[in-house]
């Protein structure tokens, strides 16, 4: 089912000859279609023709069996959290006890170990079918808070993404406080620039450092309303103008209670008053919302990123996803802590978790869930996530004959309600195969790379 040969990696340079593919089954224009002829040149689709003949204008085409869908967007990631899988699940606890274990790993990272860990983790992510990653990044400095030269921690992530062929939106995070009115403490010193203005200046220098590439977007993030004082929120919003802006929002009831005590409003209202909401903003989690919060997010067209596998792993709760979408919010999905790296599981979990809370089925169609899984626009790549002429040439080939997918219809329901990351046969990003038989061979098996990198950073 995976491609076995291609004339050359399309997109390798200006003027690259078009490579033709016939997709035996593909999700195109909101429907599953047979024998879709696509041509790729310079990293983009130059032809998308359902029912097309094999071969284009005398050129042989590579036939892709299986089910082909657009590349997935993982809108919320903390790469180093992957080191916690299988460990923080032991025993009892809460989000807050989990956070202490997370900080212990964060304290041990340096640019070299973070690059090795991120390269392995991002390799796992792209192998699951993700072509754009939103990395919510706040480990900026040395453990004592002094800066590394030349954005070393940020570049460790960028170089890791480029090594595995993954597009990256680096959401450079402002993090100034350990809580409402409290200074940073302990490992949080790594996260703080001291002031919102200093953060904005460092981020601007990073944007200039990385300018010119089309595979990396430098966005911005407000860690949370508890980590960025109210008076500093407008500075972050202004610095992010025109770029993606993400924020953790109302993941825990304790955050809401503390915000009400400090400011007399909910976190959502606080962000609205600071001008932080809107189509370029993504609120992550948005689990514990009032009806007025839902209206604010939906009415402003703010995006909302749900992370179902992390939210259930941490016991966060189930957010009002359907109500948010109905109010006008645009939904996306993320793997957050990487307790699970599987975009197909995130999609179906959005439906299945809502079934548990409502005791009803059918909140989302498979097409709606695929749309949530392919929201690259919220990461600054509006030209990705669909098979159409002019879009970035991203493809994911799913095995339709595995024990999980066999007999499931070979359509969008197979992708959303049956497939797993283990069913991904091949992944193309910007016209280049980065996973599968036609991709370059990895220097080290992924499992071995993950094991070595994680062992290095464990306390």
**Residues labelled catalytic:** 285, 336
Question: Reduced to 3 states, what is the DSSP secondary structure of residue 33?
Answer: strand
Whether the CB-CB separation of 63 and 21 falls below 8 Å is answered with yes
Whether the CB-CB separation of 252 and 202 falls below 8 Å is answered with no
Q: Where are the strands (E) in 44-98, listed by range?
A: 44-50, 61-69, 72-77
Distance in angstroms (rounded) separating the CA atoms of residues 104 and 115: 18
What DSSP assignment string belongs to 384-416?
-SS-STTSB--EEEE-SSSTTTTTS-SSHHHHH
Pairing of strands 61-69, 19-28: parallel
Q: Which residues contact 73 (CB under 8 A, 6 or more apart)?
A: 130, 131, 132, 133, 134, 332, 333, 373, 374, 375, 376, 378, 379, 381, 384, 385
Helix H or strand E encompassing 234? helix 233-239
Distance in angstroms (rounded) separating the CA atoms of residues 386 and 73: 11
Helix H or strand E encompassing 348? helix 343-358
What DSSP assignment string belongs to 287-341?
-S--HHHHHHHHHTT-EEEE-HHHHHHTT-----HHHHHHHTPEEEE--BT-SS-
């Amino acid at each position: 089912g995976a491609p076995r040969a291609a004339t050359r990696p399309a997109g390798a340079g200006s003027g690259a000859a078009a490579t033709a593919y016939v997709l035996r089954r593909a999700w195109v224009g909101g429907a599953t279609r047979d024998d879709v002829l696509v041509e790729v040149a310079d990293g983009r689709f130059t032809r998308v023709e359902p029912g097309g003949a094999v071969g284009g204008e005398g050129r042989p085409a590579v036939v892709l069996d299986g089910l082909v869908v657009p590349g997935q967007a993982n809108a919320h990631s903390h790469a180093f959290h992957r080191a916690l899988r299988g460990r923080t699940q032991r025993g009892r606890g809460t989000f807050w006890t989990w956070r202490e274990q997370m900080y212990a790993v964060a304290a041990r990272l340096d640019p070299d170990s973070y690059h090795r860990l991120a390269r392995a983790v991002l390799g796992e992510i792209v192998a699951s079918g993700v072509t754009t990653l939103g990395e919510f990044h706040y480990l900026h400095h040395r453990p004592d808070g002094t800066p590394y030269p030349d954005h070393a921690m940020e570049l460790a992530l960028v170089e890791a993404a480029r090594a595995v062929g993954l597009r990256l939106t680096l959401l450079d995070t402002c993090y100034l406080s350990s809580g409402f009115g409290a200074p940073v403490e302990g490992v949080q010193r790594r996260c703080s620039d001291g002031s919102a203005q200093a953060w904005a200046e460092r981020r601007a220098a990073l944007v200039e450092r990385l300018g010119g590439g089309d595979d990396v977007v430098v966005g911005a993030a407000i860690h949370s309303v508890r980590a960025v004082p109210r008076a500093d929120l407008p500075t972050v919003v202004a610095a992010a103008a025109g770029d993606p802006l993400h924020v953790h929002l109302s993941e825990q009831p304790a955050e809401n209670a503390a915000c009400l005590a400090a400011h007399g409003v909910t976190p959502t209202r606080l962000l609205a008053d600071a001008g932080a909401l809107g189509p370029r903003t993504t609120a992550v989690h948005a689990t514990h919302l009032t009806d007025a919060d839902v209206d604010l997010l939906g009415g402003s067209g703010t995006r909302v990123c749900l992370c179902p596998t992390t939210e259930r792993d941490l016991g966060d709760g189930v957010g009002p996803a359907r109500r948010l979408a109905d109010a006008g919010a645009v939904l996306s999905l993320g793997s957050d802590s990487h307790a699970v790296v599987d975009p197909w599981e995130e999609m179906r979990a959005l439906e299945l978790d809502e079934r548990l809370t409502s005791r009803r089925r059918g909140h989302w169609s498979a097409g709606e869930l695929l749309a949530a899984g392919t929201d690259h626009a919220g990461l600054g790549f509006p030209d990705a996530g669909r098979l159409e002429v002019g879009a970035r040439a991203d493809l994911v080939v799913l095995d339709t004959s595995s024990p999980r997918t066999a007999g499931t219809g070979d359509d969008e329901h197979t992708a959303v309600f049956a497939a797993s990351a283990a069913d991904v046969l091949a992944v193309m990003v910007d016209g280049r195969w980065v996973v599968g038989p036609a991709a370059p061979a990895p220097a080290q098996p992924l499992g071995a790379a993950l094991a070595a990198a994680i062992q290095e950073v464990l306390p």
